[in-house]
């Protein structure tokens, strides 16, 4: 097993200077094209009536489910987080589902992709936190409950980003690789079972990644949210 | 190296491009369609609720109106029944009165007809009995019977007391000496002579006895002086018979008239 079999980043299709179009980028574009084209084809003739197409129904269930999940976890209005969290889930889920297609290398099996997604989450946490609470309030969270916790909070930010990236990479990569190894050892039955298991773990990983990203973002915005709602709750109790 | 810096950077860019594309092509239209549908459903639901409320209120109004109509109908029916019963009673009363009147008229008419019939019957029966008896006696009046009648008449004269003879004599003297003997048949000479002798024996002298045949006397013979008459005649019997029949029929007529009298 060489390095090209561990990460698709090393499978170079085209290179010009420092720019190399590897398998990770190529399959990522493929997934992007598939998602965008599929969405465009379905949503170009949307119906707001009571009768609508099955594809629209599928997308409405998917988007509605993600929206409800965000609302349930964050207890906030889901519209602001839906594009980011929803895209993480759909992209990872689609990449992992397509792993059953022979010859398809899921981009999530690349540590570069998972790192990129984790970095996106790493960036989006302060982005949503600052946009919700403001810069000062957000930075104040790092010295809570005391200033001595600052190093630990910063380390926590980095470590959880690393954990996100490595968790997804390990699961996606291992599923593919274990399938390949079992195919060599027992080519008839076990690979199919592993593929089915891979589909399940792929969906679970997509869900876990999206939920963890949401939890991190929500934890950065919740302090502000709690400050907003606390007086209301007191007022409600007085009224009640 | 498992992590390629260029790939990481490119994937970050790719991811945010995908976020933008998904936002444009997936989330925004799908959420808009869902929101529009929810809004339409809410509008329809609101419209349906409004229609239902309107329908409920109209239903309540109709029910109330129906109840009002039912009550009105009930009252009208009761009133109509009462009026019909009253009119029926009145009409029945009038009909009974009419029937009673007609019955009374009819019974009165029947009674009158019966009385008239009985009167007519009485008259006819009397006349018929009288005529029949008269005819029968006329038919039976032969010579022997006439002689027998005359003999009975003579016996009657002979049984007259002196007072009556005196009365006859007084009348005869006062009114002239004319004595008329009327009979339904011509008297035989023997009997006329016997009568003459009897009269002359009891009456003063100078009397004139005339004999006359009178058909109205049935088998009878009569002695007439002005103002008085001594007679033996079947007419007397027949008149008595007629009177008795008439009395009997009168009683029958009264018997019929009494129950038919209108109260």
pLDDT in tens, A109-127: 888 888 899 889 888 988 9
CA distance, residue B79 to nearest chain A CA (Å)? 58
Rounded Cα–Cα distance for residues A27 and A88 (Å): 16
Whether residue B146 contacts residue B219, with contact meaning beta carbons closer than 8 Å, is answered with: yes
CA-nearest residue to B30 within chain A is: A60
- At B213, give phi and psi (nearest 5°): -95, 125
Interchain CB distance below 8 Å, A56 and B30: yes
pLDDT in tens, A155-210: 988 888 888 878 877 777 777 777 777 777 877 777 788 788 888 888 988 998 89
Angle at A124 between CA A123 and CA A130, to 5 degrees: 100
Q: Kindly tell me if the per-residue pLDDT of A240 is higher than 50.
A: no
Interchain CB distance below 8 Å, A83 and B19: yes
Is the CB of residue B30 less than 8 Å away from at least one CB of chain A? yes
Number of structural domains, chain A?
1
Is the CB of residue A86 less than 8 Å away from at least one CB of chain B? yes
Is the CB of residue A65 less than 8 Å away from at least one CB of chain B? no
| Predicted local distance difference test score (pLDDT) of residue B261 | 44
| DSSP one-letter string for B62-118 | HHHHHHHHHHHHHHHHHHHHHHHHHHHHHHHHHHHHHHHHHHHHHHHHHHHHHHHHH
Higher-pLDDT residue of B144 and B56 is B56
Is the CB of residue A35 less than 8 Å away from at least one CB of chain B? yes
Buried-state track B62-93, b at ≥16 Cβ within 10 A, e below 16? eeeeeeeeeeeeeeeeeeeeeeeeeeeeeeee
pLDDT average, residue stretch A71-86:
92
Alpha carbon A37 to chain centroid distance? 20
Name residues whose C-beta falls within 8 Å of residue B147's C-beta, 6 or more positions apart in sequence.
B188, B191
**E strands along B189-227, which residues?**
208-213, 221-225
| Predicted local distance difference test score (pLDDT) of residue B134 | 67
CA-nearest residue to A4 within chain B is: B2
Whether residue B235 contacts residue B220, with contact meaning beta carbons closer than 8 Å, is answered with: yes
Q: Kindly tell me if the per-residue pLDDT of A231 is higher than 80.
A: no
Q: Which of A9, A35, A60 sits opposite B34 (nearest CB)?
A: A60
CA distance, residue A238 to nearest chain B CA (Å)? 33
| Predicted local distance difference test score (pLDDT) of residue B71 | 93
Q: Which of B8, B33, B40 sits opposite A115 (nearest CB)?
A: B8
Is the CB of residue B251 less than 8 Å away from at least one CB of chain A? no
The number of residues making up chain B comes to 263
Provide the 8-state DSSP code for B26. I
Q: Distances from the Cα of B46 to the Cαs of A47, B57, B117, B156, in angstroms? A: 21, 16, 100, 140
CA distance, residue B45 to nearest chain A CA (Å)? 13
Q: Distances from the Cα of B237 to the Cαs of B142, B218, B241, in angstroms? A: 19, 10, 6
Whether residue B137 contacts residue B149, with contact meaning beta carbons closer than 8 Å, is answered with: no
Q: Kindly tell me if the per-residue pLDDT of B119 is higher than 80.
A: no
Higher-pLDDT residue of A150 and B244 is A150
H helix intervals, chain A: 3-6, 23-43, 54-74, 82-97, 111-133, 135-140, 150-185, 190-239
Cβ atoms within 10 A of the Cβ of A155, count?
10
Specify the pairing of strand A19-22 against strand A12-16: antiparallel
Specify the pairing of strand B221-225 against strand B208-213: unpaired
| Predicted local distance difference test score (pLDDT) of residue A239 | 38
Name residues whose C-beta falls within 8 Å of residue B262's C-beta, 6 or more positions apart in sequence.
B104, B107, B108
Q: Which residues of B touch A52 (CB under 8 A)?
A: 33
Higher-pLDDT residue of B151 and A223 is B151
CA-nearest residue to B12 within chain A is: A116
| Predicted local distance difference test score (pLDDT) of residue B249 | 67
- At A20, give phi and psi (nearest 5°): -125, 125
Radius of gyration of chain B (CA): 65
- At B212, give phi and psi (nearest 5°): -140, 140
pLDDT in tens, B12-57: 999 999 999 999 999 999 999 999 999 999 998 999 999 999 999 9
CB pairs under 8 A between A and B: 125
The number of residues making up chain A comes to 240
Burial class (CB in 10 A: 0-12, 13-18, 19+), B130: middle
CA distance, residue A208 to nearest chain B CA (Å)? 18
Q: Which residues of B touch A68 (CB under 8 A)?
A: none
Between A54-74 and B28-140, two packed helices, what is the crossing angle to 10 degrees?
A: 110
CA-nearest residue to A111 within chain B is: B3
Q: Which of B12, B14, B29 sits opposite A32 (nearest CB)?
A: B14
Q: Kindly tell me if the per-residue pLDDT of B166 is higher than 50.
A: yes
Ramachandran quadrant class, A51 (left: phi over 0; alpha: psi -120 to 50; beta: rest):
beta
Helix (H, G, I), strand (E, B) or coil at A188: coil
Rounded Cα–Cα distance for residues B128 and B241 (Å): 12
- Could you give the ipTM of this predicted complex? 0.85
Helix (H, G, I), strand (E, B) or coil at B167: helix
Higher-pLDDT residue of A120 and B3 is A120
Rounded Cα–Cα distance for residues A96 and B37 (Å): 33
Higher-pLDDT residue of B178 and A151 is A151
């Amino acid at each position: 097993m060489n390095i090209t079999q561990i990460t698709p980043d090393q499978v170079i299709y085209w290179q010009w200077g420092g720019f190399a179009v590897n398998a990770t980028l190529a399959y990522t574009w493929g997934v992007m094209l598939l998602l965008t084209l599929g969405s465009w084809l379905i949503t170009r003739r949307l119906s707001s009536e009571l009768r609508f197409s099955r594809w629209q129904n599928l997308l409405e269930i998917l988007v509605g489910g993600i929206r409800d999940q965000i609302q349930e976890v964050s207890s906030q209005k889901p519209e602001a987080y839906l594009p980011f969290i929803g895209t993480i889930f759909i992209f990872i889920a689609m990449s992992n589902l397509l792993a059953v297609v022979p010859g398809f290398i899921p981009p999530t099996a690349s540590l570069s992709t998972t790192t990129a997604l984790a970095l996106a989450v790493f960036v989006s946490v302060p982005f949503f936190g600052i946009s919700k609470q403001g810069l000062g309030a957000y930075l104040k969270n790092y010295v809570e409950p005391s200033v001595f916790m600052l190093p630990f909070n910063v380390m926590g930010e980095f470590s959880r980003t690393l954990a996100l990236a490595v968790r997804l990479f390990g699961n996606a990569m291992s599923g593919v690789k274990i399938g390949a190894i079992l195919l060599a050892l027992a080519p008839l039955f076990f690979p199919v079972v592993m593929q089915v298991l891979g589909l399940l773990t792929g969906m679970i990983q997509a869900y876990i990644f999206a939920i963890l990203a949401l939890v991190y973002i929500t934890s950065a915005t919740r302090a502000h949210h709690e400050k907003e709602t606390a007086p209301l709750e007191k007022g409600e109790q007085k009224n009640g | 190296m498992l992590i390629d810096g260029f790939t990481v950077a490119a994937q970050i860019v790719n991811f945010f491009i995908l976020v933008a594309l998904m936002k444009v092509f997936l989330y925004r239209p799908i959420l808009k369609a869902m929101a529009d549908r929810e809004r339409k459903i809410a509008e329809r639901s609101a419209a349906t609720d409004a229609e239902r409320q309107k329908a409920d209120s109209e239903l309540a109004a109709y029910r109330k109106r129906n109840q009002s109509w039912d009550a009105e109908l009930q009252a009208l029916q009761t009133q109509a029944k009462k009026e019909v019963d009253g009119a029926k009673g009145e009409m029945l009363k009038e009909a009974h009165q009419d029937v009673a009147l007609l019955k009374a008229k009819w019974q009165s008419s029947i009674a009158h007809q019966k009385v008239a019939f009985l009167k007519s019957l009485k008259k006819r029966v009397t006349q018929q009995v009288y005529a029949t008896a008269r005819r029968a006696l006329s038919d039976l009046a032969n010579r022997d019977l006439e002689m027998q009648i005359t003999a009975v008449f003579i016996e009657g004269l002979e049984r007259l007391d002196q007072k009556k003879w005196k009365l006859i004599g007084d009348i005869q003297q006062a009114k002239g000496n004319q004595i008329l003997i009327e009979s339904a048949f011509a008297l035989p000479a023997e009997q006329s002579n016997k009568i003459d002798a009897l009269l002359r024996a009891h009456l003063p002298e100078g009397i004139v006895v005339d004999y006359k045949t009178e058909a109205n006397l049935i088998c009878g013979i009569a002695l007439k002086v002005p103002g008085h008459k001594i007679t033996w005649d079947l007419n007397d019997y027949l008149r008595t018979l007629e009177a008795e029949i008439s009395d009997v029929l009168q009683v029958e007529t009264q018997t019929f008239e009494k129950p038919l009298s209108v109260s």
